[in-house]
Structure 1
Amino acid sequence: MEVAEAWERYAQGRTPRRETNASGARTWLNWTQYADHGPDESILGDLQGRTVLELGCGTGCNLAHLSTLGAICTGVDIAPSQHKKAVARWGGLPGLTFHTAEVAEYLSRTDTLFDVVLSIFGPVWFTDPEQFLPLIRKRLSPGGVLTFSHKPPTKGTEPVGTLREARAVTRWDYTPEEWSVLLASSGYSNSGAETVPPPGDQEAGTLLVRAYA
C-alpha cells in the first residue's frame, strides 16, 4: 500500500524521543511540535482505570506516560518499524499494547469501547474526516472524549494539502470552526478548540481540539 510505505519511510527517518525531558521525567505527554511545551495530560482528567486509544501512536512514548498514570492503553500505527520500536522501549509496562494496522480498518473491526481517543499530529489530520470521525465516534464510550492536535492552517492555504515528508499522504488543514461543524455532524457534542501559542520566537502554534461522545 502506497500510504503505508510512505509512513514507513517517514518513520525510519525520525529521531527517537529523548530518554528524559527538561524536568528529568522519563515519560511525558506532548501535544505540540515543540519539546517541553504546551499542556499536559491534565486536560484529559483522571486517567486511572480508563481505556485510551492512540491513533498513530508512533513509538508509543505518549501512551507509555498515560500507562504510568493507570490508564489501560492501546496504540495503533500503520508503520511496522514504529511497532517494533514501541515494543522494544515500552513493552514491559503493564496495561499497554501496540498494533500495526491502518487505523480506519482497526476501528472498523474492533469491538472495544474507549474512554479517550488521541491523535497527536496523527491520522485525524491525515484521513478524510467525513468518514473517519464517525468511525471514532462509534468506538467512544458514553461521555468519552476525542482529543487531537495538529498545526493550524496558515493564511492562504487550502484546507487539503500534502504531507511534505510523505507525498502519498493527504492532509486536512481545517480551522477550529470547520472542525466544530464536522464534529457536530458526526455526532459529537461540546467540541472546543484552542490554538496553543508557540514558545519563544517560533511562529507556528498548535491547534488542540476536544469533543465528547
Structure 2
Amino acid sequence: MVIDARSTAWDTYSQSKPQRRTTNAKGEATWFNWTQYPDHGPGAELLDLGVGDCALDLGCGSGGNVAHLAALGMKAVGVDLSTRQLDKARERWPGVDGMELHQADALAYLGDAFTVFDAIYSVFGAAWFTDPGPLLPTVRASLKPGGVFAFSQRPPVEGCYGCQASYIPRGPEEDPAVVKRWDYEPDAWAVILKEHGYVDVSASVLAPPSGSRRTGTLIVRGVRP
C-alpha cells in the first residue's frame, strides 16, 4: 500500500530528528514554532484559538505544537503517518490533558472524522506533502465558519513549482525514499486558497533569524467564511 511506503519513509526521517528541547529560550516547557529555527517567528496566535477550542495538526511529528495547544486549554489532535514520530510524542508528553494522537494519512483522517475544527494547521507537515487539489476543499469542509487553516514550509526553489520530489536518506546500501511535495510562490498560494473558497488569505516568507544566511519560512493562512 502507498501509505505503508510513505509511513516507512517518515519513520526513517524521524531517526534523524532529535527530540525537542526540554525548554525554549524563555524557559517554557511547551511552545509553538512555525519555522525551522528555534525561538523564531510567531506563535499559536496565528490560529486565533480560545480555551476549549479544537485544533488539528496535519503531520504533527513528535507533538510539540499539539502539546502546547493542549497546555493552553484547547483540545489538540495530531495526525501523522510515522509511528516512530508518534511514539516520540507519547514518550515526551504522557498524559497531557486534551492531547489526542492518531497514526493516519491526513486526507483519510479528515474524510473519516466527524469533528469540525476551529483551526487546522501544518508545520512542515502534511500540507506540504499532500496535493492541494483534494486537500484544500477537504480542510475547508472540516473547519467551522471562521475557522483558520494555516501552514508553513520552506519557500520553493526558484522555477521549481508544483509537485516536486523530496529525497529521504536511508541505509548506505539503499536508495533514498522519495516522497512528493507541493511548492509555490506566496502569491500563487494566495490565489490557490482563494480559488478554494478561503478568505482573509495571507502568504509570505518570514525572513530567517538575524545574521543567518539560510532560507526563510513560507507561512500561508486562510479562513473559512
Normalised by the size of structure 2, how large is the TM-score?
Answer: 0.90
Residue 61 of structure 2: aligned partner? 58
Residue type matched to 1:196 in 2?
L
Deviation, 1:206, is 0.4
Residue 74 of structure 1: aligned partner? 77
Residue type matched to 2:11 in 1?
E
Q: Does structure 1 retain, via aligned residues, the 8 Å contact 2:167–2:178?
A: no
Between Structure 1 and Structure 2, how many residues are aligned? 213
How many angstroms apart in 2 are the aligned matches of 1:106 and 1:8? 19
Q: Does structure 1 retain, via aligned residues, the 8 Å contact 2:166–2:180?
A: yes
Q: Any idea what SS the aligned residue of 1:123 has?
A: coil
Q: Any idea what SS the aligned residue of 2:79 has?
A: strand
Residue 104 of structure 1: aligned partner? 107
- Per-residue Cα deviation, 1:4-37 (whole angstroms, up to 9, x for no partner): 2111111122111111111211111110001111
Residue 132 of structure 1: aligned partner? 135
How many angstroms apart in 2 are the aligned matches of 1:209 and 1:24? 28
Residue type matched to 2:35 in 1?
T
2:204 is equivalent to residue 204 of structure 1: no
How many angstroms apart in 2 are the aligned matches of 1:144 and 1:7? 29
Deviation, 1:85, is 1.5
Residue type matched to 1:176 in 2?
P
Structure 1 gaps of 5+ residues are none
How many angstroms apart in 1 are the aligned matches of 2:59 and 2:212? 29
Residue 173 of structure 2: aligned partner? none
Residue 194 of structure 2: aligned partner? 184
Structure 1 residue runs of 4 or more that deviate by more than 4 Å after TM superposition = none
Residue type matched to 1:207 in 2?
L
Residue 116 of structure 1: aligned partner? 119
